[in-house]
Structure 1
Amino acid sequence: MPFIPHSDSDVQAMLKTIGVGQIEDLFDEIPDELKQSVLRQVPAGMNEMEVSRLMRGRAAQDGTPLGFVGAGAYQHHIPAAVWAITTRGEYYSAYTPYQAEASQGTLQLIYEYQTMMSRLTGMDVSNASLYDGATSLAEAVLMAIRSVKKGAHRVLVPESVHPAYRQTLKTIVGLQGVEVVELAVPTGRLEADSLDAGALGEFSALVIPQPNFFGVLEDVDALTDWAHAQGALAIGVVNPMSLAVLPAPGSWGSTGADIVCGDGQPLGVPLSSGGPYFGILACKQAYIRQMSGRIVGRTTDLDGKPGFALTLQAREQHIRRAKANSNICTNQGLLVTAATIYMSLLGPEGLRRVAAQSMQNTRALRDRLLKIAGISQRFDQPFFHEVALTLPRPAAEVIETLAAENIVAGFAVGSEYGDQANTLLVCATEVHTSEDIEAFAKALERVLG
C-alpha cells in the first residue's frame, strides 16, 4: 500500500482553502486532448509471479544483438564481482545524509574514487561525479567562464565533440548568456594551425575532445598550448578508458589541460538502454572552488583516527539559484560505487589490457571491412577504438537492414552531420571476437550486394 500522509479530510480542507472543488481543477490549464484518461499500456494489477513473467518478456524484446555501435556508450566486459558487491545492502542503499559524516563507508568510497580519477586524468582534484558526460561539459564550461579574469562569455567547441554534448551545452549555458562558437573539422579533427585567433575574437575556453566523436585522436598538445597562448583555458572531454593508454590530460601541452570532463560509463556501468551513467569532472587546484558537486577529503577525528568529510561544499551552492556554482550537481553515487570497484578489480594493468584489446579489435574490424568493395576510411587520422567508414549506400539504410539480422551495425553519422549520409561509425571493444567481426563483415557484404 503506498504511503499517502493526507487523509480525505486533509485533502478537502486544502482544496477548500485554495478555492477549488477537486484535485483535477489544479490542472485545468492542460488541454483535454493531451490528457490520458486510460493507461492502455499498463495492465491490470498483478501478483509478484505475474509481474516477473511480464518483465522477463519485456526484457527479451531487446534481444541480444551483435553490436558494433559506440558513439559515446560502450560495451565492455563487467566482471560479475562488480555489481555483486555494488548491490550489497551496505552499498546499494547507502546515501550520504545531511549529517554526511555519519556515512563513513560511503565517504571513504567516494574518496577512493576521487583519488583514482585524479590519477587517471592527471589532474589535482576530482569531484564525486555529476549527472552524465554532457552535463559535465556544461559544468566545465561554466567553471571556465567564472575562472578567466576579464574573459568573454564565449567558448570554442569543435564539431568533433559529441553532438548530444554540444546540444546539452547550448541548452544549459545559452540561458546564462554564454555563446558557443562551433569550429569546423573537415579533416576529422581540429587543426591548431588552422585557428585564427584574431578572427575568432575573445573567448574563455577551448573544448578539446580526446578521442573525438569520430574516434579520431586530436593533437591535444598543440591545441592546449594554443588555448593557453590566447589566455583561455583548455577543457578536455575524455573517454576514461582511453586514458589507460593515452597521455593524461594533465600532461597535455606545456602545462596540461585545466579542466577535464567526460562520461564514466565505460568503467563498469552497463549500457542499460541509455542510462543512467555518471559524469566525470576534474581540474587543477587553482579552479577547485569553482567546481560543482561533492568533494570528499580525509582527516582525523579528536582521537586521532582517520575519517572522511565533505569539503568545499557550501550549502549555498544549492540554494542560490542563478548565482550558484551549479543547479545540477547530481551525485551518481551508486554508479560511482560500481566504477570504483571496477577500477579496483582491474587495476592499472587491467585497464591497459582492456583499452589495448579494444584498439586491436577495432583495427581488425576496420581492416576486414575495408576489404569489402566500395568501403573506405572516412578520415585518414589515428583513432582509438572507433572509426568512421564511408559506404556506397546511406548508412541508415544499411543499419536498418542489418537490424533484421540481429546486428547493430554502428551509428549513422548523417543523422547528426547532414553531409555524411554514407558515413558509418563502428566500434569494437575487448568483448568482440574474430568470429563476431567475420559475421558482421559477411552480413555487410550481402547487404551491399
Structure 2
Amino acid sequence: MTDELDGLIAGLMPRARADLAELVAIPSVADPRQYPPEHCLRAAAWVAAAFAETGLRDVHLEETPDGSHAVIGHRPPPPGAPTVLLYAHYDVQPPLDEAAWHSPPFELTERDGRWYGRGAADCKGNIVMHLTALRALGEDVPVGLKLLVEGSEEQGTGGLERYLPPHAGELHADALLICDTGNVAVGVPTATTSLRGLADVVVTVSTLAGDLHSGMFGGPAPDALAALIRILDSLRDADGGTRIDGLDDDGGWSGAGYDEDSFRADAGVLDGVRLTGSGSVADRLWARPAVTVLGIDCPPVVGSAAAVPAAARARVSLRVPPGTDARAAQDALVAHLLAAAPWGVRVDVEREGTGAAFRADTGGPAYTALDRAMREVYGTPMTFLGQGGSIPLCPVLAAAYPDAEIVLMGVEEPRCLIHAPNESVDPDEIARMARVEASFLRHFANAGRR
C-alpha cells in the first residue's frame, strides 16, 4: 500500500510545485488596508477549482461575517464509512520587511532544497498537501470528505468562528484534520495536541494635559512613557518570565521536549543572550502563560523633541495555556496593569479579543490510524507537540462537534519561519505528509466504520 502511494505521490510532486507556485503568486493578505480584497477572492476561486477537480462536489465560496470567503465542499461517504473534514487556510501574513527577503516573497523560489515564498508553508503548503493526497487516491477515496478552507485566519477577525455554529450540521465529520501545524522537526512525525489561547489589551498612560519642554519641566513633571515602561516591566520577573498577579505560571509539559540549543537556533537568538523564564523550553512555550509587548505608541527617535511625553500606550498580548480560561486571564492582566501604575498616573486598559486554549483527546480511532500512517511513512512512532500559538477555530470546532476527533498536523516545522521573512517549506515534507494523509484516510475508513 505504502509503495503504491510512494510512487503515485512522487509522480505528483511536479504538479504540487506548480500548484504552490500559482498560489504563492497570489498575495492573499486578508487586510484591505494593505492589499485589495480581490487577491483573496482569486485565491479562494483557485482553491475551489482545484478541489472540485479532485472529485469533491458542490465546491463553492461562502461569505462569512467578517467579509472573507470560506471554500466549502463535500464528498459523500461509502456505506458505513466515516467522514473526515479537511481544513486549511488560503490567506497569508503580509511579507513584512520585503528588503529582508532573499527572493521575492510572492514568487516561489527554490534554494538549498527548499521552496521559498510567503505562504509556502503557512498555509498554502498544506492546501497542496491535501490536493496531492486526494489526487494520489483518485476515485478510491474510502471515506466521506468535508472541505473547509478559511480566508481570514491570519487576521484573526473571526469570520469562520462566527459562521460555523449556525452551519455546524453541514460540516459535521467524525475526524477533523486541521492542517495548519507540522512536525517538531523535518522527518519527525508529529501531531499537535495543545494550543495556547489568547488575550490582548491596549494600555494607555496619561500624565499631563500636553507635552512639556523637558528643560523647563523635566524632573517633577511625570513622564508618561517612563510610567508605561515601569508598568510593562512589572509583567516579568528578574529572569524575564511572565508574572501576572492572579495567574498561575507553574504549568509543565509532558509531551515531546524542545532542546534548548535547537530552540535558540530556530528562534535566531543572538550569541550571549539568555532565554527568558525558567523550567524547560517546552514548559515555557506550551504550558505556561507568556506576555509580549506587541507595540508601543510614543515619539520615535527620529523627529523626537526635547519634551516630557504626556501620554503613551502599548498593545500587550498574553498567550494562555490549556486549562486557563482566556477571559479570566484577561481579567488578571487588566487588574495587574491597573495596580502597577506608579505615581498616581491615569491608566486606561482597552480589552481586545480573547481566544480559548485547546487540548486534543488522543485516545480515539483517528489517532490510532494516524500513528499507523506515520509509522509507515516515517518509520518511527508519532510524537506529540504543543504549539505556543493559537488557532481560534479549534475550540469552536470542539464545542460544535464534541464527539469528533480533532487532529492538528501539516507541513510546517521550525525551519519554515512562518510569519517571518524568507518563509519556506521542505518539499519532502509535503510529499511525506501527503502520503500520511492518504494512508490515514484508508486506515480510518476501517477504524471509524459505523
Please indicate, yes or no, whether the TM-score normalized by the shorter chain is above 0.5. Answer: no
Which of the two has greater helix per residue?
1
Structure richer in strand, relative to its length: 2
Structure with more relative contact order (C-alpha pairs < 8 Å, separation 6 or more): 2
Q: Which structure would you say has the larger Rg?
A: 1
Q: TM-score range by the shorter chain?
A: under 0.3
